[in-house]
Every structure is written in C-alpha cells, then in structure tokens.
Structure 1
Amino acid sequence: MAKETTIAPASPSSPTVGDMIMHYFNLEGVKHVFGIPGGGLMNFLVDLKNNTDSIEYIICRQETGAAYIADGYYRATGKLGVVVVTTGPGATNALTGVMNAQADGSAMLLLTGEIDQKYFGMGYLQEGIDGGLNINAIFTAATGYSSVVTSGTDAETIIKQAFRDALSIPRQAVHLSLPVNVSIEPLTNAVMSVNTTAYRTNPQGAPVGAVKKAMTSLLACKRPLLFLGNGCRQALTDMSTYNNLLLFVETFGIPVITTADGKGIFPETHKLSLRVYGMADCMWPYAYLTATDVPYDGIMIIGSSLGELSTNSWLPILKPQGPDAPFIQVDINQKIIARSFEVTQGIVGEAGAFINDLAELIPAVKVDTELIEERKQAIATIKKQTPFINPDSYYSNSSPVEPAALMRVLQETIPPDTKIFIDAGNCVGWSVHYLAIQPPASFYTSLAMGPMGFAVGAVVGAKIGCPNQTCLAIVGDGAFLMQGNEISTAKKYQVGAIWIVLFDNNLSMVSQGMDYFAPDNENPDVWKNLYELGNPDLLMYAQSMGAEACKVDSPADLALIMPKVLEQANTKHIPQVIIVDINKNATPPYYNPVYLPKKANK
C-alpha cells in the first residue's frame, strides 16, 4: 500500500497550472517521468527544467516505448508511472502502451501537450483536441479517466481526479491533455493539498460475514482449490498479507494455482503449489482437477476475471464436481464476478483484506487433521509427476538451444530477487511453463492485451526504479525489433537492464499456430516462409544501440557467460543483450493435447 505523503505547496508569487502539476507530482512521490518532448509541451518543459533536482525527465526513443518503460517502472516499484509527450502523433504513439497499462491494472498517468486554445479548430499543426483527431475521445475509450485541463479554475480538480483514479484499486491508466497556454495560466485562490489522503483513499475491507461463509463452504470440501489471479499481486506485496496467505493454505492443506499473469505471487516451489493453470500451464492442475478417486469439489478464486487465457478458454473442468460444490469468486470489481462462470458466492472486496480475514478466522475453525493430511498426501503424489509437457527438452544440452533448456539455465543462474519481464509471443509459453518463480523473484507479463515489445521497454523502467536488483526481459526477435531502440535510452541513463532474445528469424507464434490449425498439404513450409524476418543481425543492432551483446547457441555457453553479464549490468550499469540461437522447430507448450482440439489433418 502507498504510504501517506505530506509536502508543503510551492509558493511562487503567482503559481501557475504548471507549478500546481509539479507540486502534485512531488506530493505523489514522482521521481521520474518518461517520454519525448515537443512544441505542445513548450511551457511545461520549462517547469520540468526548473525541477530537475526532484524529477528526472527520461527521454525515450519512441512514445510507445516510453509508456512501456513507465509501466515497467510501476510494476517493479509500485509507484505511479508518468508519461509526458507532445500532442498529435506523440499522443497516439503512446496509446498502445497506455491501453496495455489500463488492461493490466498498472497505475499510469499520461500527460499530453496540446496546441494553444486560441488556435483550436483552425487547422494548427498537430491539433489534437478540437480537430479531426480528438485525443480526449481516444483516451476516454482507452483509459480509466481522461480530461482536458482547460483553465486554472478547473486544473486542481482535474489533476486530483486523475491521481484518484490512477491509484484506485484496481490501478488504472489515466490521461490529461494540457494546452500549451494553460500550463502558464495563473491559479485563482490556489490552496494546494499538503498530503495525499486529503484527496484520495482506497477500499481496505471485505465483508466479514461473507468471508466466514466462503471459508466454511471451502473447508467442507475434500478437494478444495485456491485460484489466485494478478488482482492479488499488489495485496501480496505486503508481507503480513503474504504470510497470512501461507498460514491459511498450510493450516488446511489447500493447493494453490495461479493464472499466468499471476505467476509467482504464490511461491511455485511450495509443497502446496500446483503452479499455473491456463495458458501454457503446468501439468499438475489438470491432474488435480480431473482426479476420479476423490473428485475436486470446491474452488475459491481471488483476483482473477477468469478470462480466456486464465481458464483454457473456459474449459468446464474448472467447475467443481457436485450439485452444491462451492464456486466462490472474490474481486474488488463487481463487474467481472460471475461473468465467465456462474458462482455459488460472489464477494466484492479487496483481496488483501479478504486474505487477512481468512487468517483471522482460523482459530475458530475445527481442524480435521486426518482429512488435511490425506489431501496433502494426494497433492504430493501428483507432484511426483513431471510438471512439464516435454521434460527431455528442459534437460537438453543440445545446440541450437531448446527454449525449455534456456529457461533451466536462467533458473540456475539469475539472482533470487530478479524481476523478470516476459514479452508477447512464444517466449510466454516457454517461461510460464518452465520457470518456477518464488518470491522475492517476480514475474510480469502483459497478457490482457499482449502487445509485442512490452517487455523490451518495461525492463528499462524496472531497472530505473530498482537499480540494485537484476531486471531481465525474455523477448522474441520480432518484439526486439519493434522496441529495441530503447536500449539506447538505457545506455544514455546508465541502466543495466538485461535482454534475453530468442532468435529463430520468424514470428513463430503465428507461423506455428497457423500450421497447427490451418496446415497446407501442398506446401508444408508455407507459413514458416511467410513470416520470416529477413535474418537481421541482432548482435550488431544491439551493439549499435549501446549494449554489450553476445550470441550463444548452447545451454553451456549461456551458463558460462551469465556471471559476467550480471556483473556488467548490476555493477557497471551497462545494458546487456544475449541473442540465443534457438531450435526453430521447437513448439511451445500452447498445444497441450489434454486441452486443445485435435490438430488439423495435413
């Protein structure tokens, strides 16, 4: 949870809207803003220049990348990510990154410049609000809140609302448009807040009676299951709440699964963890969900909307067996409860408060020791099986590198508190399935929207926010080509981020998927050939952007260079890129035969 902040307002003789924005940036603990300057920001750039002692404006290489960097900064630190770009194309370039932050529950404020109001509607270059390109309408549809600061009289109300919405639960992306003339407009009777609790707060409770009912229902089951989504991530950064979660599941022997985007919020090395269910999931959840000797008969979901990737396209096996089997869904957002599956009990509540209430109720519960021990034994039996679809590839030492083996080497070589960012593409499947994440390590994806290039930028923001921790991105070659120019940003600001690039010269998630579902009998390689990337020299590309880069084609080579890579990134602050030549025919664990339709006949 964010701590209350108190700061005295700036007191120039005639404070302006720009002064007011800088005051609230400081009040909210903003230390970095990310973006690209332009004429629509001209007057606000003076405010940023005059406040370089407290706020650093990180100049990125492209506005989408700036938004990804700000998103990574928020995810790694829990602090608001702020993006500042100019009007027109500056604003639209930022759109994908901001929309992705909104979809994944990241707190982000996008501030876009705008032309002088006196030129509205006259065809001024890059006009964004009153012209054909209505920036406010675009971001109203894409974010949790969007507004135009039209004068000094409404500025404070609007900026407070933006912070209130961005830092609500769930977190949101918000947008403010600032006409260039408004930023220097004097404030009338300005009385700026001196602490954040004066204008925003967050829900901190769950209905105790409903918590007790849910706990009673779940504990009456012989084979209950706890399913945690990304909506629990923020709550579980609080160690007291995290320990209460462990206390609850360990007391009653309840196995835990997570969604792919919630991977690692519960330790995957824990004896009660069945790891991930859904996209690229572990094999253990299927065994538990489909057991016939003692059937799975109750589930409690906390912080998941139960979307497609979290449920294997809403596979019915997630529904527990039995006419009165509890299906309990807990979320702060009542709009998503029972959206995908009918529930026996829906609870609108904050995840952390709900988990803490569960722990507080433990002493009042009579523990069935025999049942709990029998259940723990059943879980242990399941976990004697391999969690992997293809364990041979995980233990392979062949060249080129099996992507599963790449994950094994990373598992063995990176520090235990590494922040890992996963891009969109096949790298999601390999990392979700084959890595085992345990706090303090953390694992971040962008699976709500799935934009390529997210992790390429996000890892830079994470390292800026957490310079003393290893921050590493696992990306495909296509995504790396999209946003790899942000390596230059990392170089300029001495940010020792690390990129692991899976090189197969192809958009393989698409080509393999099309070959699986729409094979061409006459030209079996057509899909692979259609989506090749032209064999770019990514080594030279990374070096030209300022990174130290190397290429490996075996697990042994990767293991050999990792200590130096970590040293150069973390102590010399030099961006590091490792191009991994992977087996081009390796298929990620998206096509698990126990879930998917049969492959089309060739």
Structure 2
Amino acid sequence: MATEPSAASAESVPTVVAALLAYLKLEGVSHIFGIPGGALVSVLAALKADADITYHVCHQETGAAFIADGYARVSGGLAVVLTTSGPGATNALTGVLNANASHTPTLIITGESPQWSFGRGYLQEGADAGLDIVSIYESGLDCSELITNADNFQALFESAMRTAWGTPCRAAHLSLPSDVAASSPTPPAPPAFSVPSSTASYRTRGSFVDAGGVASAVEAIVDAQRPLLMLGNDCRQPLQNDSLLGEFVAAIERLALPVMTSPDAKGVFPESHALSLRNYGLAGCRWPKLYLEDPLHAHDALVVIGSSLGELATWLDGKPWNPKLEPAGPFIQLSDDPSILGRDFPITLGVVGETGALLQSFIQAASSVETDPATEATMAKRAQFVADLKTAYSPFVDPEKRTSPSNPIKPQTLARMINEALPPGSQIMVDGGNCIGWCMHDMVVDPPTQIHTALTFGTMGFATGAVVGAKLAAPATTCLAVVGDGGFLMQVAEVATAAQERIGAIWVVLADHDLSMVSQGMAALESDPSFDQYYELGWNDLAVVAQGLGAEASNAQSVGEVAAAVDRAIKGAETGVPQVVVVAIDATEAPPYDYQPLPPPAATH
C-alpha cells in the first residue's frame, strides 16, 4: 500500500533532484516505474543512493505507465513514471493518457537534454526541437511544464500535485533538463530548497458537496414509484472503505432502491445484493434492461453518481446514449466534474461535489428522509418487483454457455471459472477487446474483490502491465489479468519485469489468434461475414514466450485443463513467480455487444 505522507519538519536540500526526491517522499511515494536514459543522469544517481524509493526498471515505457496505473489503483497512492527524453517520453504517452482518463493520480517526469544544448541537435532532444514533448503532453493533460531553472522547480512541482490530486484526480507532466536537475537556487534566492513538512501547505482535497442538491435527489427517489440509481467508476475509490460501503448499502436498503453500475464501475456495489441489477451499458447484465423496459411501470426517476454517461456506459441494444435510460420523471446527475453534467442527456438537476462527499451526503439524506406508510408500501412492492424479475429472468444472455463442457472452452465458461476460482479480495485487471465483454457479462463481483478496466480511454495492453503494479501494491492479494492474445502481445515484455522482481502476477490469456473484437464488429457493422478471422494474428506459442520471459506458463483448452491450470497459477503466484495460463477459446463466440449494421450512406444529389 502507499506510504503515508511524511509529517516531519521542513527539510533543507541543495539541488533540484534532492528536492524532487524529498517532495516524492512527502507524497508517500516509495515506488517509481520507467526506463532509465542519459537525460536522467542526476535523478538516477540520486535514486540509486536513496533507500526509501525503488525505481522499477520496466521493459517499455507504455508498460511502465500501465504498471504505475495499476499500482496506484490498488494502493490508493500516486502513480509516478520516470522516463528519459524523446522516444522514452513519447512511448509513455498512451499509458499516461489512459491513467488521466481513468482519474488515476499520476505524475510523469521526463528527462530532457541540458538547456545549453537546445536547438543544436542533441540526442533525443525534445523540448526545443520539432518534437516538443511539453506541448505533446499539454495537448492531452491539464498540466505539462518545462522546469527551466531551479528557481521555478518548487512552484511547478506543487502545481503538478494540485492537478494530480485535484477533483477529479488527473495526470500531470514535468520535463526536467539534466542540467537543471543538478542545479541549485540562484541568488538572491536562499542557497537551498526548503521542502515543506506537509502536503497541506500546497494542496488539499476538499470534501465539498451541495448537500441540498443531494437531499433533492433522495426526495425524488422517495417520491417515485420505480426509481433507479446508477453508480459510475468515480465511486470506486471511496466505496473501497468498508465502513462507508456498509453505510451506503444500508441507505440503499432503507430506500428499497435498485442499483446498477456503469461497465467500469462493475462491482463497486455488491452484485449479489438483492437490490443490485449489476452492470448496465456495454455487454451489461440483462436485469437493468428489463427494469427499464417494464411495460406496466416506466422508471420514473434516475439518479446518477460518479459517471460521465459516456458511450459505453449508456450502450443498450447496440446504441450508445440510448434514450431508454431517460426516466419518466426526474433525471439527476451528481459528479465532481461540472463539465459533464447534462452533457449527454437532458437532466432536471445537476449536483456538484467530491464523490466521497456526495456518497456520504446521500447516506445522511437517506437516513433522515421522512417516509409514510404509503411510501413504505411502495418501497416494499418495488423490492418485490426486483426480486420477481431476478427470479424470472437469467442475468445472462446465454446461461447454458457458462457451464458448457465443450472443447475448446466457451469464453463464457472461462469467465465464470476464473470468477469462482479467485479468493475474496482479489484484484482483477481486464484488458481491452472481447475479454471486456466476457468479464462484464459473465462475472459476478462483490467487494472486497475489485475489477479494473481501461474503458474510458479504451487502451489494449493496459491489464498486461497493470496487474504487475497491482501485485506490487498488494503482495498478499491474488492479482489476475484477463487479456486477449492481442493485448498480451502488446506488453508481454512486462512479464519479464514481474519475473525480475519476483512479483507473482497472473495472466489468463484468451487465445484465438485474432483481433476478434474488430473482426466480429466489422462483420456485424458491415453485414459481411468475410471479416471473421480477417485480422488474424498468426500462430504464436505464448506459453513458450512467457516461459522464456521467466514465468511459469501452460496451455489449456478444456474445462478440466483450465480448472487445474488456474488453481495451479493462484498457488504458484504465492511464491513470487509470475504465472501465465494460455487458454484456447471457442473463437466462434462473440460477447453480447449487440452491434447493429450501419445504415446505408445517404443519397447525394
């Protein structure tokens, strides 16, 4: 877990690099991820001499950023990426943008050639050449700065931390020229940096909330016949607090309020709870759709907490932003980001607040709202309706395929088996591609187990790296990535990172030797079955590749082989040896994305 921020007295240090390390320790940082290079000479020397911060040498900078993201998601701390200039900085970009989109607090520090060399063709120069690294990062982040001298280091670092730990959390970038890193303040400034004793001196995370707006949302729920609550991924971090989750569940029960989540918030509310409709959106559970489409009683109030209501969060019947989500009554959206309120649907009320404070305020309002016998009778009927719906209908599109004995294994069966094999409290990292659909639809997730995705930015390869960081953050916890063979190949070198550092991460690779999400999607959208297997990856023995990188690895395709291999991997990971299970799946199966053929092009005149 993340180291607690230091509460020591102010520290006086002579150089920028010494101040940088002091600030990182103040932020509770004990692990940094990246690949070293010549533009980092002073930083690398300082890190080697510092026993409090470990610099983990990864195998590609994008993978390093994914690992840092996974570490921060599980530890609750700051993700820190350190790369050299030029190609090192550009390689890390995708991983950093993914962390930014996922609201992971992140700092990327890219080295830079010395300022005296700017414009002279120095190797890997980025700040003052055609490749402007600061501007590249600035185009995707709220904070990207070049530290031009020792005198502006503190102001720029502290500004970066305000961005990283802002509301919502974001990624920030600092470019540090090698000569500046080794420099000291210049007169008339004091000859040394005075690093503050507390992060509170330069940043804060306020628990601001519009309590009146939250109370109005609860009142709308109480006044409705068929209200519905939707939770987004911004609720994940606060609801990992067991006490807060327990209070929130009690509030839901008092209101007899059905709950669904966005895809990336799957499992933030216990999916086995009587009032859970599980996940809505892409490859969602069938229950939310049935609740929304009840012909006798339309849902008449919708409250959304912590979701931007983007494309995949609102996907239904192959249509994003499906209007079926709109209630016949109040539509209330609560978020820490005012820019997304009412962006995708017309709302009746938008409420701004820090997500944890919104949830606490919701609990308080739910516990104090007045009800009468008629309202309580309505609540009882609503709870019974949800129970009857869940009894009458399977949550799965193809329930029989979740228990199929076929060989090769059905991916539906594989997702169920992984789900059931994992101990409570496991961390599941799911990559982009069809594995998202199988895990979203065919897994049932209850806290303290957590499932993490990269759905906002949609990167492949995320889970391949992120599971390494997750296991580093929680070494006593089972950490498993579900990845397709395409995403695994993108970042497979990070298996070697895990092996080098004896990090017992687990990868289950869905092997069909094809980019099937694309192949199947194109076949459906274009009504052209010839796209099936059109984007084949060729034949790769990924188990042999993984073994060559230092993992214990095996192939499996039958139910029995998969059960034995997953059990062996979970036990083997406890010894600190990374584990890879390559599963040959039935490639004819497609997740329930409900793609619809594209309409013909409009006639031109």
TM-score w.r.t. the length of structure 1 is 0.95
SS at match of 1:383: helix
Q: CA deviation at 1:183?
A: 0.7
Amino acid at match of 2:549: M
How far apart, in 1, do the equivalents of 2:344 and 2:533 lie? 38
Q: Which amino acid aligns with 1:497?
A: A
Q: Cα–Cα, structure 1 residues 45 and 30, in superposed 2: closer, same or farther, change >3 Å?
A: same
After TM superposition, the structure 1 = structure 2 runs for residues 183-222 of structure 1, keeping only pairs within 5 Å, are: 183-187=181-185, 188-189=189-190, 190-222=193-225
Letter in 1 for 2:22: H
Q: 1:171: how far off?
A: 0.9
Q: Which residue number in structure 2 is paired with residue 515 of structure 1?
A: 523
**Aligned residue in 2 for 1:403:** 411
Shift of 1:170: 1.0
Aligned twin of 1:31: 30
| SS of 2:139 mapped into structure 1 | helix
Whole-Å separation in 1 of the counterparts to 2:369 and 2:452: 37
Deviation at 1:113, TM superposition (A): 0.3
User: What corresponds to 1:336 in structure 2?
Assistant: 340
Say if 2:139 is the partner of 1:141: yes
1:464 counterpart = 2:469: no
- Alignment correspondent of 1:428: 436
**Match of 1:46, as an amino acid?**
A
Distance 1:379 1:348 in 2: 30
Amino acid in structure 2 at the alignment position of 1:244: E
Amino acid at match of 1:408: R
Name the aligned partner's letter for residue 382 of structure 1.
L
Rounded Cα–Cα distance in structure 2 between residues aligned with 1:406 and 1:479: 18
Query: What is the aligned partner in structure 2 of residue 7 from structure 1?
Result: 8
Cα deviation, residue 408, structure 1: 1.4
| Structure 1 counterpart of 2:569, one-letter code | V
Change in CA separation of 1:428 and 1:348 when aligned onto 2, cut-off 3 Å = same
Q: Partners of 1:397 and 1:458 in 2: how far apart?
A: 31
Question: Residue 5 of structure 2 contacts residue 28 of structure 2 at CA under 8 Å; is this kept in 1?
Answer: no
Q: Where does residue 54 of structure 2 map in the other structure?
A: 56
Give how far 1:169 is off: 2.0
Residue by residue over 1:248-304, the C-alpha shift from the partner in whole angstroms, topping out at 9 and shown as x without a partner, is 110010000000001111111111100011010000001100112222110000001
CA distance in 2, matches of 1:34, 1:2: 16
Counterpart pick for 1:105 among 103, 106, 121: 103
The answer as to 2:549 corresponding to 1:545 is yes
> AA paired with 2:85?
T
Which stretch has the larger CA shift, 84-93 or 387-396? 387-396
Alignment partner for residue 512 of structure 2, among 479, 504, 509?
504
The amino acid of 1:174's aligned partner reads A
- CA distance, structure 2, for counterparts of residue 79 and residue 349 of structure 1: 21
CA contact (8 A) 2:525 2:596 kept: no
Question: Helix, strand or coil for the counterpart of 1:338?
Answer: coil
Tell me how far 1:564 sits from its aligned partner: 2.2
1:107-506 paired onto structure 2 within 5 Å: 107-187=105-185, 188-189=189-190, 190-312=193-315, 313-321=320-328, 325-361=329-365, 362-367=367-372, 368-384=375-391, 385-506=393-514
**1:18 alignment counterpart:** 17
Out of 548, 567, 588, the residue aligned to residue 591 of structure 2 is 588
Aligned with 1:446: secondary structure? coil
Q: Report the 3-state secondary structure (helix = DSSP H, G, I; strand = E; otherwise coil) of the residue aligned with 1:301.
A: strand
Aligned-partner residue type, residue 259 of structure 2? V
Answer with 173-182 or 511-520: which moved more: 511-520
Give the secondary-structure state (helix, strand or coil) at the position aligned to 1:381. Answer: helix
Q: Quick check: 2:425–2:450 contact (8 Å CA) kept in 1? A: yes
User: Aligned partner of 1:449: which letter?
Assistant: F
Question: Aligned with 2:503: secondary structure?
Answer: coil
The separation in 2 between residues aligned to 1:588 and 1:451, in whole angstroms, is 18
Return the letter of the residue paired with 1:63.
Answer: E
Map 1:518-537 to 2 at 5 A.
518-520=526-528, 524=529, 526-537=530-541
Q: Quote the offset at 1:379 in angstroms.
A: 0.3
CA distance in 1, matches of 2:130, 2:362: 53
SS at match of 1:66: helix
The alignment partner of 1:209 has SS state of: helix
**Distance (Å, rounded) in 2 between the aligned partners of 1:134 and 1:8:** 38
Task: Tell me the CA shift for residue 532 of structure 1.
Answer: 0.9
Partner letter of residue 45 of structure 1?
Answer: L
CA offsets per residue over residues 182-201 of structure 1, 9 Å max, x none?
A: 01111342221101111111
| Equivalent residues of 1:98, 1:143 under 8 A apart | no
* 365-374 vs 431-440, greater mean Cα deviation: 365-374
Deviation of 1:559 (Å):
1.4
Matched to 1:35, the amino acid is: G
Q: What is the RMSD computed on CA atoms of the aligned residues?
A: 1.6
Distance across 2 between alignment mates of 1:318 and 1:495: 43
CA distance in structure 2 between the partners assigned to 1:530 and 1:411 by the alignment: 31
1:135 deviates by 0.3
Contact 1:519 1:600 in 2 (8 A): no
In the alignment, the residues of structure 1 paired with residue 88 and residue 204 of structure 2 have an alpha-carbon distance, to the nearest angstrom, of: 32
| Corresponding residue to 2:564 among 523, 544, 560 | 560
- Is the partner of 1:369 in helix, strand or coil? helix
CA contact (8 A) 2:408 2:586 kept: yes
Asked whether the 8 Å contact 2:277–2:288 carries over to 1, the reply is yes
- The Cα of 1:444 is off from its aligned counterpart by 0.3
Please report how far the alpha carbon of residue 10 of structure 1 lies from its aligned counterpart in structure 2 after TM superposition.
Answer: 4.5
Give the unaligned 5+ runs of structure 1. Answer: none
Deviations 1:383-407 (A, max 9, x none): 1110001111111111101000001
Unaligned runs of 5+ residues in structure 2 are 601-605
- Check the 8 A contact 2:495/2:550 in 1, yes or no: yes
Secondary structure of 1:577's aligned partner: strand
Superposed displacement of residue 219, structure 1: 1.2
Any conservation in 2 of the 1:416–1:441 contact (CA below 8 Å)? Answer: yes
**2:112–2:178 CA contact under 8 A, matched in 1:** yes
8 Å contact 1:10–1:19 — kept in the other structure?
Answer: no
Deviation for aligned residue 1:132: 0.4
**Matched residue of 2:383: which SS?**
helix
CA change 1:547–1:117 in 2 (3 A) is same
| Alignment of 1:569 onto 2:573 | yes
Distance of 2:233 and 2:341 partners within structure 1:
15
**Residue identity matched to 2:7:** T
Q: Is the 8 A contact 1:244 1:355 kept in 2?
A: no
**Superposed, which structure 2 residues align to 1:53-92 within 5 Å?**
53-92=51-90
